[in-house]
Structure 1
Amino acid sequence: MQITVYGATGTFGTRLVEQLRSRDHPVISAHRGTGVDTYTGHGVAEAAEGSDVLVDCVNRMTMNARQAVDFFSHSSRSIALAAAERPETSVACLSIAFRPEVGESKLLGYYQGKAVQERIYRRLVPADRLLMFRSAQWFELVDAMTTSIGPLRFVPKMRVQALAAAEAARMMAEAIDAREHDTVEVAGPEISDFAAIARRLAEARARSTGRAEEHSESAGERGASAGTAKPRKVIGIPLPGPTAGDGLIPPAPRLSDVSLDNWLRTV
Protein backbone atom coordinates (compact mmCIF):
# COMPACT_ATOMS: atom_id res chain seq x y z
CA MET A 1 0.00 0.00 0.00
CA GLN A 2 1.68 3.20 -1.16
CA ILE A 3 1.12 6.20 1.11
CA THR A 4 1.78 9.90 0.55
CA VAL A 5 2.47 11.86 3.70
CA TYR A 6 2.07 15.63 3.38
CA GLY A 7 4.05 17.48 6.02
CA ALA A 8 6.49 14.58 6.25
CA THR A 9 9.32 16.55 7.88
CA GLY A 10 7.39 17.94 10.87
CA THR A 11 7.41 16.78 14.48
CA PHE A 12 4.70 14.25 13.78
CA GLY A 13 5.23 13.58 10.09
CA THR A 14 8.82 12.42 10.58
CA ARG A 15 7.73 9.88 13.17
CA LEU A 16 4.77 8.72 11.10
CA VAL A 17 6.92 8.11 8.02
CA GLU A 18 9.27 5.95 10.12
CA GLN A 19 6.33 3.97 11.50
CA LEU A 20 4.76 3.39 8.09
CA ARG A 21 8.04 2.31 6.52
CA SER A 22 8.66 -0.10 9.42
CA ARG A 23 5.41 -1.76 8.30
CA ASP A 24 6.86 -2.13 4.77
CA HIS A 25 4.68 0.53 3.14
CA PRO A 26 6.28 2.59 0.37
CA VAL A 27 6.00 6.21 1.51
CA ILE A 28 6.15 9.37 -0.58
CA SER A 29 7.44 12.21 1.63
CA ALA A 30 5.71 15.37 0.43
CA HIS A 31 6.79 18.75 1.77
CA ARG A 32 8.07 22.10 0.56
CA GLY A 33 11.58 20.70 0.22
CA THR A 34 10.25 18.36 -2.48
CA GLY A 35 8.30 21.13 -4.21
CA VAL A 36 4.93 20.40 -2.61
CA ASP A 37 2.95 23.29 -1.09
CA THR A 38 -0.47 22.27 0.17
CA TYR A 39 -1.50 25.89 0.81
CA THR A 40 -1.10 26.89 -2.84
CA GLY A 41 -1.81 23.38 -4.11
CA HIS A 42 1.46 23.25 -6.03
CA GLY A 43 2.67 19.67 -6.48
CA VAL A 44 -0.10 18.15 -4.33
CA ALA A 45 -1.74 16.10 -7.09
CA GLU A 46 1.63 14.95 -8.46
CA ALA A 47 2.69 13.70 -5.01
CA ALA A 48 -0.56 11.72 -4.77
CA GLU A 49 0.08 9.80 -7.99
CA GLY A 50 -0.04 6.04 -7.43
CA SER A 51 -0.81 6.26 -3.71
CA ASP A 52 -3.60 4.40 -1.94
CA VAL A 53 -3.70 6.75 1.05
CA LEU A 54 -3.03 10.48 1.36
CA VAL A 55 -2.08 11.59 4.87
CA ASP A 56 -2.41 15.20 5.97
CA CYS A 57 0.15 16.05 8.69
CA VAL A 58 0.60 19.64 7.57
CA ASN A 59 0.51 22.21 10.34
CA ARG A 60 0.77 25.89 11.10
CA MET A 61 0.99 26.97 14.73
CA THR A 62 -0.89 30.24 15.21
CA MET A 63 -3.59 31.46 17.59
CA ASN A 64 -4.69 34.05 15.05
CA ALA A 65 -8.09 32.76 13.91
CA ARG A 66 -7.99 34.42 10.50
CA GLN A 67 -4.57 32.97 9.70
CA ALA A 68 -5.45 29.51 11.03
CA VAL A 69 -8.73 29.27 9.14
CA ASP A 70 -7.13 30.57 5.94
CA PHE A 71 -4.23 28.11 6.13
CA PHE A 72 -6.13 24.96 7.06
CA SER A 73 -8.98 25.60 4.65
CA HIS A 74 -6.63 26.01 1.68
CA SER A 75 -4.33 23.15 2.67
CA SER A 76 -7.05 20.58 3.38
CA ARG A 77 -9.00 21.47 0.26
CA SER A 78 -5.99 20.90 -2.01
CA ILE A 79 -5.40 17.41 -0.54
CA ALA A 80 -9.11 16.54 -0.61
CA LEU A 81 -9.34 17.54 -4.28
CA ALA A 82 -6.30 15.42 -5.12
CA ALA A 83 -8.06 12.45 -3.50
CA ALA A 84 -11.29 13.21 -5.39
CA GLU A 85 -9.43 12.72 -8.67
CA ARG A 86 -8.56 9.17 -7.55
CA PRO A 87 -11.77 7.33 -6.56
CA GLU A 88 -9.92 4.47 -4.82
CA THR A 89 -7.68 6.74 -2.75
CA SER A 90 -8.36 7.29 0.96
CA VAL A 91 -7.45 10.25 3.16
CA ALA A 92 -6.14 10.22 6.73
CA CYS A 93 -6.08 13.57 8.51
CA LEU A 94 -4.10 14.28 11.66
CA SER A 95 -6.29 16.45 13.85
CA ILE A 96 -6.54 17.34 17.54
CA ALA A 97 -8.85 15.90 20.16
CA PHE A 98 -11.05 18.79 21.27
CA ARG A 99 -14.68 19.25 22.12
CA PRO A 100 -17.01 21.50 20.06
CA GLU A 101 -16.86 24.40 22.51
CA VAL A 102 -13.09 24.67 21.95
CA GLY A 103 -13.46 24.96 18.18
CA GLU A 104 -16.08 27.65 18.69
CA SER A 105 -14.05 29.72 21.16
CA LYS A 106 -12.92 33.10 19.83
CA LEU A 107 -9.87 32.94 22.13
CA LEU A 108 -8.50 29.81 20.47
CA GLY A 109 -7.94 30.63 16.82
CA TYR A 110 -5.80 27.57 16.09
CA TYR A 111 -8.65 25.26 17.05
CA GLN A 112 -11.04 27.23 14.86
CA GLY A 113 -8.72 26.43 11.97
CA LYS A 114 -8.65 22.71 12.86
CA ALA A 115 -12.45 22.67 13.13
CA VAL A 116 -12.68 24.12 9.60
CA GLN A 117 -10.16 21.53 8.38
CA GLU A 118 -12.29 18.68 9.71
CA ARG A 119 -15.46 20.10 8.16
CA ILE A 120 -13.81 20.41 4.73
CA TYR A 121 -12.62 16.81 4.75
CA ARG A 122 -15.98 15.49 5.91
CA ARG A 123 -17.68 17.44 3.14
CA LEU A 124 -15.31 16.54 0.30
CA VAL A 125 -14.19 12.98 1.14
CA PRO A 126 -16.67 10.07 1.38
CA ALA A 127 -16.99 8.76 4.94
CA ASP A 128 -15.82 5.26 3.97
CA ARG A 129 -12.56 6.75 2.64
CA LEU A 130 -11.79 9.16 5.48
CA LEU A 131 -9.87 8.56 8.70
CA MET A 132 -10.04 11.50 11.09
CA PHE A 133 -7.24 10.78 13.55
CA ARG A 134 -7.66 13.09 16.54
CA SER A 135 -4.70 13.08 18.89
CA ALA A 136 -4.49 14.64 22.34
CA GLN A 137 -1.63 17.10 22.82
CA TRP A 138 1.93 15.75 22.85
CA PHE A 139 4.48 16.08 25.62
CA GLU A 140 6.83 17.59 23.03
CA LEU A 141 4.56 20.64 22.65
CA VAL A 142 5.44 21.95 26.10
CA ASP A 143 8.50 23.83 24.83
CA ALA A 144 6.46 25.43 22.05
CA MET A 145 3.88 26.58 24.61
CA THR A 146 6.54 28.10 26.90
CA THR A 147 7.46 31.78 27.07
CA SER A 148 10.79 32.50 28.80
CA ILE A 149 11.48 35.82 30.52
CA GLY A 150 14.83 35.82 32.32
CA PRO A 151 14.92 32.85 34.70
CA LEU A 152 11.14 32.38 34.56
CA ARG A 153 9.10 30.22 32.23
CA PHE A 154 5.42 30.90 31.70
CA VAL A 155 3.22 28.03 30.53
CA PRO A 156 -0.57 27.98 30.03
CA LYS A 157 -2.49 25.81 32.49
CA MET A 158 -4.42 23.86 29.87
CA ARG A 159 -5.89 20.55 31.05
CA VAL A 160 -4.62 17.80 28.76
CA GLN A 161 -4.40 14.04 28.49
CA ALA A 162 -1.05 14.25 26.75
CA LEU A 163 0.96 11.49 25.12
CA ALA A 164 4.31 11.14 23.38
CA ALA A 165 4.35 12.16 19.71
CA ALA A 166 6.02 8.84 18.86
CA GLU A 167 3.11 7.00 20.45
CA ALA A 168 0.56 9.03 18.52
CA ALA A 169 2.46 8.28 15.31
CA ARG A 170 2.54 4.57 16.11
CA MET A 171 -1.19 4.51 16.77
CA MET A 172 -1.98 6.42 13.58
CA ALA A 173 0.24 4.09 11.55
CA GLU A 174 -1.65 1.12 13.00
CA ALA A 175 -4.99 2.67 12.03
CA ILE A 176 -3.80 3.40 8.49
CA ASP A 177 -2.30 -0.07 8.18
CA ALA A 178 -5.66 -1.57 9.18
CA ARG A 179 -7.44 0.66 6.61
CA GLU A 180 -9.63 2.16 9.31
CA HIS A 181 -12.01 5.02 8.59
CA ASP A 182 -14.35 7.20 10.65
CA THR A 183 -12.94 8.98 13.74
CA VAL A 184 -10.21 7.66 16.04
CA GLU A 185 -9.15 9.56 19.15
CA VAL A 186 -5.97 8.78 21.11
CA ALA A 187 -4.55 10.08 24.38
CA GLY A 188 -2.10 9.36 27.16
CA PRO A 189 -2.83 7.42 30.35
CA GLU A 190 -3.00 10.49 32.65
CA ILE A 191 -4.84 13.81 32.82
CA SER A 192 -2.62 16.74 33.79
CA ASP A 193 -1.93 20.26 32.52
CA PHE A 194 0.84 21.81 30.49
CA ALA A 195 2.27 23.75 33.43
CA ALA A 196 2.62 20.59 35.54
CA ILE A 197 4.25 18.76 32.64
CA ALA A 198 6.62 21.71 32.11
CA ARG A 199 7.71 21.55 35.76
CA ARG A 200 8.41 17.84 35.53
CA LEU A 201 10.37 18.40 32.31
CA ALA A 202 12.40 21.21 33.91
CA GLU A 203 13.25 18.93 36.85
CA ALA A 204 14.31 16.12 34.51
CA ARG A 205 16.53 18.46 32.51
CA ALA A 206 18.09 19.84 35.70
CA ARG A 207 18.94 16.31 36.84
CA SER A 208 20.40 15.53 33.43
CA THR A 209 22.49 18.72 33.50
CA GLY A 210 23.73 17.91 36.99
CA ARG A 211 24.78 14.41 35.96
CA ALA A 212 26.57 15.78 32.89
CA GLU A 213 28.48 18.27 35.02
CA GLU A 214 29.37 15.58 37.51
CA HIS A 215 30.74 13.27 34.83
CA SER A 216 32.75 16.12 33.28
CA GLU A 217 34.74 16.65 36.46
CA SER A 218 37.58 14.46 37.54
CA ALA A 219 37.13 12.54 40.81
CA GLY A 220 39.70 14.71 42.57
CA GLU A 221 38.11 18.00 41.48
CA ARG A 222 34.47 17.12 41.95
CA GLY A 223 32.87 19.79 44.09
CA ALA A 224 29.80 20.04 46.27
CA SER A 225 27.82 21.64 43.45
CA ALA A 226 28.06 18.58 41.20
CA GLY A 227 24.69 17.05 40.40
CA THR A 228 22.73 19.92 41.99
CA ALA A 229 21.56 21.93 38.97
CA LYS A 230 18.35 23.80 39.78
CA PRO A 231 15.32 23.50 37.50
CA ARG A 232 13.96 26.62 35.84
CA LYS A 233 10.99 28.12 37.69
CA VAL A 234 7.76 27.42 35.83
CA ILE A 235 4.70 29.60 36.37
CA GLY A 236 1.34 28.31 35.19
CA ILE A 237 -0.92 30.91 33.56
CA PRO A 238 -4.63 30.11 33.95
CA LEU A 239 -6.56 30.44 30.71
CA PRO A 240 -10.22 31.41 30.53
CA GLY A 241 -12.59 29.27 28.56
CA PRO A 242 -13.00 25.56 27.81
CA THR A 243 -9.32 24.54 27.95
CA ALA A 244 -9.40 25.05 31.72
CA GLY A 245 -12.01 22.32 31.95
CA ASP A 246 -12.45 19.19 29.84
CA GLY A 247 -12.42 20.91 26.45
CA LEU A 248 -9.22 19.12 25.36
CA ILE A 249 -9.95 15.79 27.09
CA PRO A 250 -11.34 13.19 24.64
CA PRO A 251 -14.32 11.32 26.14
CA ALA A 252 -13.36 7.76 25.14
CA PRO A 253 -9.91 7.63 23.51
CA ARG A 254 -7.59 4.78 22.73
CA LEU A 255 -4.88 5.01 25.36
CA SER A 256 -1.11 4.93 25.05
CA ASP A 257 0.57 3.11 27.92
CA VAL A 258 3.62 5.44 27.82
CA SER A 259 3.28 7.73 30.83
CA LEU A 260 4.97 11.07 31.43
CA ASP A 261 7.50 9.29 33.68
CA ASN A 262 8.31 6.87 30.86
CA TRP A 263 8.76 9.69 28.36
CA LEU A 264 10.89 11.81 30.68
CA ARG A 265 13.46 9.00 30.82
CA THR A 266 14.05 9.51 27.11
CA VAL A 267 14.64 13.29 27.10
Structure 2
Amino acid sequence: MRVTVVGASGEFGSVLSRVLEGRGVDVVRAHRATGVDAVTGDGLTEACEGSDVIVDATSLMSRSADESVAFFSAVARNISTAADATGARVVYLGIYGASDPVVNKKMGHYRGKAEQAVVYEQMLGDDATALLSTQWYSLPEKFMSQTTFGPIAVAPHMHSRPAAVEDVAEAMADVVLDPARPSRVTVAGPAEMDLADVAKAVAAHRGSPRWVLGVNYGGAGLRSGGLVPADPDVTTSTTFEQWLAGR
Protein backbone atom coordinates (compact mmCIF):
# COMPACT_ATOMS: atom_id res chain seq x y z
CA MET A 1 0.00 0.00 0.00
CA ARG A 2 1.19 3.50 -0.80
CA VAL A 3 0.20 6.57 1.22
CA THR A 4 1.10 10.20 0.64
CA VAL A 5 1.32 12.13 3.90
CA VAL A 6 0.93 15.85 3.23
CA GLY A 7 2.50 17.81 6.07
CA ALA A 8 4.86 14.95 6.92
CA SER A 9 7.42 17.26 8.51
CA GLY A 10 5.05 18.48 11.24
CA GLU A 11 4.53 17.12 14.75
CA PHE A 12 1.71 14.78 13.78
CA GLY A 13 2.72 14.04 10.20
CA SER A 14 6.22 12.92 11.15
CA VAL A 15 4.91 10.54 13.82
CA LEU A 16 2.22 9.17 11.50
CA SER A 17 4.76 8.58 8.74
CA ARG A 18 6.91 6.50 11.09
CA VAL A 19 3.89 4.52 12.31
CA LEU A 20 2.76 3.74 8.76
CA GLU A 21 6.26 2.75 7.68
CA GLY A 22 6.44 0.47 10.71
CA ARG A 23 3.34 -1.28 9.39
CA GLY A 24 4.93 -1.89 6.01
CA VAL A 25 3.36 1.02 4.13
CA ASP A 26 5.21 2.81 1.33
CA VAL A 27 5.03 6.40 2.58
CA VAL A 28 5.58 9.45 0.40
CA ARG A 29 6.48 12.35 2.68
CA ALA A 30 5.11 15.48 1.07
CA HIS A 31 6.17 18.88 2.39
CA ARG A 32 8.01 21.94 1.21
CA ALA A 33 11.45 20.39 1.69
CA THR A 34 10.47 17.59 -0.74
CA GLY A 35 9.19 20.07 -3.32
CA VAL A 36 5.49 20.03 -2.39
CA ASP A 37 3.58 23.17 -1.45
CA ALA A 38 0.07 22.19 -0.42
CA VAL A 39 -1.09 25.82 -0.23
CA THR A 40 -0.25 26.61 -3.85
CA GLY A 41 -0.60 23.03 -5.06
CA ASP A 42 2.89 22.94 -6.56
CA GLY A 43 4.15 19.35 -6.80
CA LEU A 44 1.13 17.95 -4.96
CA THR A 45 -0.50 15.86 -7.69
CA GLU A 46 2.85 14.38 -8.65
CA ALA A 47 3.49 13.38 -5.02
CA CYS A 48 0.08 11.68 -4.88
CA GLU A 49 0.35 9.69 -8.09
CA GLY A 50 0.17 5.97 -7.41
CA SER A 51 -0.99 6.41 -3.83
CA ASP A 52 -4.03 4.63 -2.44
CA VAL A 53 -4.62 7.22 0.27
CA ILE A 54 -3.69 10.87 0.76
CA VAL A 55 -3.43 12.03 4.37
CA ASP A 56 -3.84 15.70 5.19
CA ALA A 57 -1.70 16.23 8.28
CA THR A 58 -0.94 19.88 7.58
CA SER A 59 -0.84 22.42 10.37
CA LEU A 60 -0.59 26.15 10.90
CA MET A 61 0.18 27.93 14.15
CA SER A 62 -1.84 31.09 13.85
CA ARG A 63 -4.52 32.77 15.96
CA SER A 64 -5.80 34.71 12.95
CA ALA A 65 -9.10 33.39 11.61
CA ASP A 66 -8.40 34.87 8.18
CA GLU A 67 -4.99 33.21 7.92
CA SER A 68 -6.26 29.88 9.21
CA VAL A 69 -9.31 29.80 6.94
CA ALA A 70 -7.20 30.74 3.91
CA PHE A 71 -4.58 28.11 4.70
CA PHE A 72 -6.77 25.13 5.53
CA SER A 73 -9.30 25.79 2.78
CA ALA A 74 -6.57 26.13 0.14
CA VAL A 75 -4.89 22.92 1.25
CA ALA A 76 -8.18 21.02 1.31
CA ARG A 77 -9.08 22.24 -2.18
CA ASN A 78 -5.70 21.28 -3.59
CA ILE A 79 -5.67 17.86 -1.96
CA SER A 80 -9.23 17.23 -3.17
CA THR A 81 -8.16 18.11 -6.70
CA ALA A 82 -5.17 15.78 -6.43
CA ALA A 83 -7.43 13.01 -5.13
CA ASP A 84 -9.76 13.45 -8.10
CA ALA A 85 -6.81 13.33 -10.49
CA THR A 86 -5.19 10.24 -8.97
CA GLY A 87 -8.19 8.27 -7.69
CA ALA A 88 -6.89 8.22 -4.12
CA ARG A 89 -9.06 8.50 -1.04
CA VAL A 90 -8.39 11.18 1.58
CA VAL A 91 -8.07 10.94 5.35
CA TYR A 92 -7.63 14.26 7.12
CA LEU A 93 -6.83 15.31 10.67
CA GLY A 94 -9.48 17.47 12.30
CA ILE A 95 -10.21 18.73 15.81
CA TYR A 96 -13.26 17.46 17.63
CA GLY A 97 -15.64 20.34 18.28
CA ALA A 98 -13.90 22.79 15.94
CA SER A 99 -16.91 22.99 13.62
CA ASP A 100 -19.20 24.10 16.45
CA PRO A 101 -19.73 27.90 16.18
CA VAL A 102 -19.97 28.09 19.97
CA VAL A 103 -16.47 26.62 20.21
CA ASN A 104 -14.75 28.34 17.28
CA LYS A 105 -16.32 31.78 17.66
CA LYS A 106 -13.16 33.27 19.20
CA MET A 107 -10.64 30.66 18.02
CA GLY A 108 -9.16 31.50 14.64
CA HIS A 109 -7.34 28.17 14.30
CA TYR A 110 -10.55 26.24 14.94
CA ARG A 111 -12.43 28.28 12.38
CA GLY A 112 -9.80 27.28 9.85
CA LYS A 113 -10.26 23.62 10.72
CA ALA A 114 -14.03 24.04 10.42
CA GLU A 115 -13.59 25.41 6.90
CA GLN A 116 -11.28 22.50 6.08
CA ALA A 117 -14.11 20.08 6.88
CA VAL A 118 -16.57 22.05 4.75
CA VAL A 119 -14.27 21.95 1.70
CA TYR A 120 -13.67 18.21 1.94
CA GLU A 121 -17.36 17.49 2.38
CA GLN A 122 -18.30 19.64 -0.59
CA MET A 123 -15.55 18.42 -2.93
CA LEU A 124 -15.14 14.75 -1.95
CA GLY A 125 -18.13 13.73 0.13
CA ASP A 126 -17.77 10.11 1.26
CA ASP A 127 -14.35 9.83 -0.38
CA ALA A 128 -12.88 11.83 2.52
CA THR A 129 -12.66 10.55 6.08
CA ALA A 130 -12.28 12.94 9.01
CA LEU A 131 -10.29 11.78 12.00
CA LEU A 132 -11.41 14.18 14.71
CA SER A 133 -8.97 14.23 17.59
CA THR A 134 -9.21 15.90 20.95
CA GLN A 135 -6.29 18.08 22.07
CA TRP A 136 -2.89 16.53 22.73
CA TYR A 137 -0.89 16.48 25.96
CA SER A 138 1.80 18.51 24.19
CA LEU A 139 -0.51 21.45 23.42
CA PRO A 140 -0.01 23.31 26.74
CA GLU A 141 3.74 23.31 26.10
CA LYS A 142 3.09 25.32 22.94
CA PHE A 143 0.92 27.74 24.90
CA MET A 144 3.65 28.23 27.49
CA SER A 145 6.35 28.73 24.87
CA GLN A 146 4.40 31.75 23.63
CA THR A 147 3.21 33.15 26.96
CA THR A 148 6.13 32.78 29.38
CA PHE A 149 7.42 35.98 30.92
CA GLY A 150 10.29 35.30 33.29
CA PRO A 151 9.06 32.81 35.92
CA ILE A 152 5.38 33.17 34.94
CA ALA A 153 3.36 31.62 32.12
CA VAL A 154 -0.32 31.57 31.29
CA ALA A 155 -2.40 28.72 29.88
CA PRO A 156 -6.07 28.73 28.87
CA HIS A 157 -8.72 26.77 30.69
CA MET A 158 -9.85 24.20 28.11
CA HIS A 159 -11.95 21.23 29.20
CA SER A 160 -10.88 18.28 27.06
CA ARG A 161 -9.94 14.61 26.95
CA PRO A 162 -6.33 15.08 25.83
CA ALA A 163 -4.32 12.27 24.25
CA ALA A 164 -0.74 11.40 23.36
CA VAL A 165 0.02 12.34 19.77
CA GLU A 166 1.56 8.89 19.23
CA ASP A 167 -1.73 7.22 20.17
CA VAL A 168 -3.67 9.47 17.81
CA ALA A 169 -1.23 8.60 15.02
CA GLU A 170 -1.83 4.89 15.67
CA ALA A 171 -5.57 5.49 15.44
CA MET A 172 -5.07 7.40 12.19
CA ALA A 173 -2.99 4.54 10.79
CA ASP A 174 -5.84 2.13 11.60
CA VAL A 175 -8.23 4.32 9.62
CA VAL A 176 -5.83 4.71 6.69
CA LEU A 177 -5.38 0.94 6.43
CA ASP A 178 -9.09 0.14 6.79
CA PRO A 179 -10.62 -0.51 3.33
CA ALA A 180 -14.09 0.23 4.74
CA ARG A 181 -13.23 3.67 6.11
CA PRO A 182 -16.17 5.50 7.68
CA SER A 183 -16.70 9.18 6.94
CA ARG A 184 -15.85 10.22 10.49
CA VAL A 185 -13.85 8.79 13.41
CA THR A 186 -13.52 10.52 16.77
CA VAL A 187 -10.49 9.93 19.00
CA ALA A 188 -10.21 10.99 22.63
CA GLY A 189 -7.84 10.46 25.52
CA PRO A 190 -8.59 8.36 28.58
CA ALA A 191 -9.62 11.10 31.03
CA GLU A 192 -11.21 14.54 31.10
CA MET A 193 -8.78 17.28 32.11
CA ASP A 194 -8.40 21.04 32.12
CA LEU A 195 -5.46 21.89 29.87
CA ALA A 196 -4.45 24.63 32.33
CA ASP A 197 -3.87 21.84 34.88
CA VAL A 198 -1.89 19.90 32.26
CA ALA A 199 0.31 22.96 31.74
CA LYS A 200 0.91 23.33 35.49
CA ALA A 201 1.92 19.68 35.80
CA VAL A 202 4.27 19.92 32.80
CA ALA A 203 5.90 23.03 34.26
CA ALA A 204 6.33 21.37 37.66
CA HIS A 205 7.83 18.29 36.02
CA ARG A 206 10.46 20.21 34.09
CA GLY A 207 11.00 22.86 36.77
CA SER A 208 10.06 25.84 34.61
CA PRO A 209 8.25 28.17 34.54
CA ARG A 210 7.78 28.53 38.27
CA TRP A 211 4.16 29.67 38.09
CA VAL A 212 1.46 28.91 35.54
CA LEU A 213 -1.74 30.92 35.64
CA GLY A 214 -4.93 29.50 34.19
CA VAL A 215 -6.92 32.08 32.23
CA ASN A 216 -10.31 32.13 30.56
CA TYR A 217 -9.61 32.47 26.85
CA GLY A 218 -11.42 31.65 23.65
CA GLY A 219 -14.97 31.73 24.95
CA ALA A 220 -17.12 29.61 27.24
CA GLY A 221 -17.47 26.87 24.62
CA LEU A 222 -13.93 25.70 25.41
CA ARG A 223 -14.78 25.25 29.08
CA SER A 224 -18.29 23.82 28.87
CA GLY A 225 -17.65 20.47 27.21
CA GLY A 226 -17.64 21.49 23.56
CA LEU A 227 -14.25 19.82 23.09
CA VAL A 228 -15.26 16.53 24.74
CA PRO A 229 -16.89 13.82 22.62
CA ALA A 230 -19.65 12.05 24.51
CA ASP A 231 -18.96 8.65 22.93
CA PRO A 232 -15.64 8.59 21.03
CA ASP A 233 -15.00 5.85 18.51
CA VAL A 234 -11.47 5.39 19.87
CA THR A 235 -10.26 5.96 23.43
CA THR A 236 -6.48 6.09 23.60
CA SER A 237 -4.57 4.24 26.30
CA THR A 238 -1.65 6.43 27.37
CA THR A 239 -2.53 8.34 30.52
CA PHE A 240 -1.23 11.81 31.19
CA GLU A 241 0.90 10.48 34.04
CA GLN A 242 2.49 7.90 31.73
CA TRP A 243 3.11 10.51 29.05
CA LEU A 244 4.64 12.93 31.54
CA ALA A 245 6.91 10.26 33.01
CA GLY A 246 8.31 9.61 29.54
CA ARG A 247 9.22 13.22 28.87
**TM-score, reference length from structure 1:** 0.87
How has the CA–CA distance of structure 1 residues 151 and 231 changed in structure 2, closer, same or farther, with 3 Å as cutoff? closer
What does 1:97-246 correspond to in 2, within 5 Å? 97-98=96-97, 100-102=99-101, 105-127=104-126, 129-146=127-144, 147-179=147-179, 180-206=181-207, 232-239=210-217, 240-246=219-225
Aligned position for 1:62: 62
| d(CA) in 2 for partners of 1:56, 1:95 | 9
Aligned position for 1:216: none
Aligned position for 1:210: none
| d(CA) in 1 for partners of 2:101, 2:189 | 20
| d(CA) in 1 for partners of 2:220, 2:34 | 40
CA RMSD in angstroms comes to 1.4
Return the letter of the residue paired with 2:75: S
- CA apart distance, 1:126: 3.5
| 1:133-156: CA deviation from partner (whole Å, max 9, x where unpaired) | 011111111111121011101001
How has the CA–CA distance of structure 1 residues 4 and 111 changed in structure 2, closer, same or farther, with 3 Å as cutoff? same
Q: Is the 8 A contact 1:99 1:250 kept in 2?
A: no
Q: Is the 8 A contact 2:103 2:221 kept in 1?
A: no
- CA apart distance, 1:101: 3.0
Q: Is the 8 A contact 1:138 1:165 kept in 2?
A: yes
How has the CA–CA distance of structure 1 residues 266 and 176 changed in structure 2, closer, same or farther, with 3 Å as cutoff? same
Q: Is the 8 A contact 2:97 2:103 kept in 1?
A: no
| d(CA) in 2 for partners of 1:126, 1:86 | 16
| d(CA) in 1 for partners of 2:76, 2:100 | 22
Tell me, which stretches of 5 or more residues in structure 2 are unaligned? none
| SS of equivalent to 1:142 | helix
| 1:236-264: CA deviation from partner (whole Å, max 9, x where unpaired) | 00123300111111221110111100101
- CA apart distance, 1:100: 4.1
Larger Rg: 1
| SS of equivalent to 1:139 | coil
| SS of equivalent to 1:81 | helix
Q: Is the 8 A contact 2:6 2:29 kept in 1?
A: yes
Tell me, which stretches of 5 or more residues in structure 1 are unaligned? 207-229
Asked if 1:248 corresponds to 2:247, the answer is no
Identity rate of aligned residues, in percent? Answer: 35
How has the CA–CA distance of structure 1 residues 231 and 151 changed in structure 2, closer, same or farther, with 3 Å as cutoff? closer
| d(CA) in 1 for partners of 2:139, 2:14 | 15
| d(CA) in 2 for partners of 1:144, 1:28 | 28
| d(CA) in 2 for partners of 1:72, 1:173 | 22
Q: Is the 8 A contact 2:8 2:14 kept in 1?
A: yes
| d(CA) in 2 for partners of 1:105, 1:28 | 32
